[in-house]
Amino acid sequence: MTRALLPYWLMTGQFTEARRWHDRAVPALGGLDAPAAPGLAWAVFGAGVLAVQQGDFAAGGPLLARATELARAAADEDLAAHVTDARGMLAFYSGDLPAAQAEFESALAVSERAGFSDPTALVTYSRLASVCLLTFELDRAARLCEECLRRCHELGEQWARGTALWTRGAARWLSGDNPAALADVLACLRIKEQLGDLHTIAMSFDLLSVCLATDDAERTAVLHGASERLWTLLNAPVLMGPAYAEIRKSGAATARGALGEERFDALVSHGYALPLAAALAVARGEAPAAPADGGPGAEARPLTRRERQIAGLVADGLGNREIAEQLYLSKRTVDSHLEHIFTKLGFTSRTQLAAWVLERRPAE
């Protein structure tokens, strides 16, 4: 079941739920030290790639190392390609670009030999192109994206196509072609919105905010807040490597300089509070960025990342001790965070907090 659902969980960004099921699946299949078997191999890989997606590299590294051994023993080329791609993601998110490039090229070679029997493996083209963007091999990045788009068209693969459009958009932005970059990221959003891919939607909001930073500071600030909420809901840090984080910060800094600290913070808070459909309308330019007087931008000062994370777990029905165990915090720390949350929002009960969180979650 975890193998069948893993692509869905990854594509829709349901990393936390997926990790919980994989934490049950691996022991049920005998554990990490059990003899190699296809079911165990896929479960260990799933646990590893999900850990990487949530920035838990300490757990993800050993899991992917074991998945590599199991994939080799199972002689499963599709799995081998996915595991190698995941090792590339781990290196990329850690900032080790040479290692990431080597892993992604190896994963592509395996998938090409297999004729992309699993079309979702086409996403590795975009990941290798992302490495090329950061090493300023823009021409190669563009060629990789075009090849990915060509193969996606042949195979009817949409998820990888949307990611290739995002990556080509990033390449065009780095090349100074903002209009083409905006066209690509909006085309990506049309696909990812239909698929419910919250992870790439968050990335698209980030790229749009950077593209718009000079010409539309208000829209940049709102999209920065909207992406921040999605990253929090995904329970994933804004990683994508140190360079990604710096580019994202640069867009925010440009908008802050144009708007001033107070106005920028109000618009970020407004973006954070927007439902996903409303945020997408702002991204497409179909709705004004600035909130009306007394609108969401005027509500209580925004919660910190940790406070939003804890509020989300309260909405999921977890008690304070369960939250502490999941986040590796003391119960006393969780109690303190909740006191601050209630004070900021003017709430007196967990029910009020849960309702507030659920109102702001994207529709599933």
Q: What is the pLDDT of residues 24-33, one digit of tens each?
A: 999 999 999 8
Read off the pLDDT band of 114 (50, 70, 90).
confident
Tokens 């490039």 sit at which residue?
Answer: 101
In this prediction, residue 153 carries a pLDDT of: 95
What DSSP designation does 292 have?
P
Report yes or no: 46 and 19 within 8 Å, Cβ to Cβ.
no
Q: Is the dihedral of CA 358, 53, 5, 324 positive or negative?
A: negative
**pLDDT of 87 higher than 80:** yes
Q: What is the pLDDT of residue 330?
A: 85
Residue 297's pLDDT is 41
Residues 6+ apart with CB under 8 A from 336: none
Say yes or no to pLDDT of 281 above 90: yes
Q: Is the pLDDT of residue 240 over 90?
A: no
More confident residue, 363 or 108: 108
Confidence of residue 197 (pLDDT cuts 50, 70, 90): very high
Find the range with the poorest average confidence among 1-10, 296-305, 323-332, 352-361. 296-305
- Residue 235's pLDDT band (boundaries 50, 70, 90)? confident
Name the more confident of 337 and 86: 86
Task: Kindly tell me if the per-residue pLDDT of 188 is higher than 70.
Answer: yes
Higher-pLDDT residue of 348, 56: 56
* pLDDT, position 294: 43
Q: Residues 236-242: what's their mean pLDDT?
A: 67
CA distance 325 to 57: 18
Q: What is the enclosing helix (H) or strand (E) of 353?
A: helix 350-360
Q: What pLDDT is attached to residue 291?
A: 66
Q: Among candidates 252, 261, 245, which has minimal Cα distance to 212?
A: 252
Mean pLDDT to the nearest integer, 194-215: 93
What is the reported pLDDT for 343?
75
Show the domains of the chain with their CATH numbers.
1-75 (1.25.40.10), 97-195 (1.25.40.10), 207-302 (no CATH), 303-364 (1.10.10.10)
Write phi, then psi, for 260 (nearest 5 degrees): 90, 155
Please provide the average confidence, as pLDDT, over all residues in the chain: 89
CA–CA dist 202, 194 (Å, integer):
14
Phi, psi of 247 (to 5 degrees): -65, -45
Query: At CA 2, angle to CA 36 and CA 94, rounded to 5?
Result: 80
Of 185, 216, 211, the C-alpha closest to 200 is 185
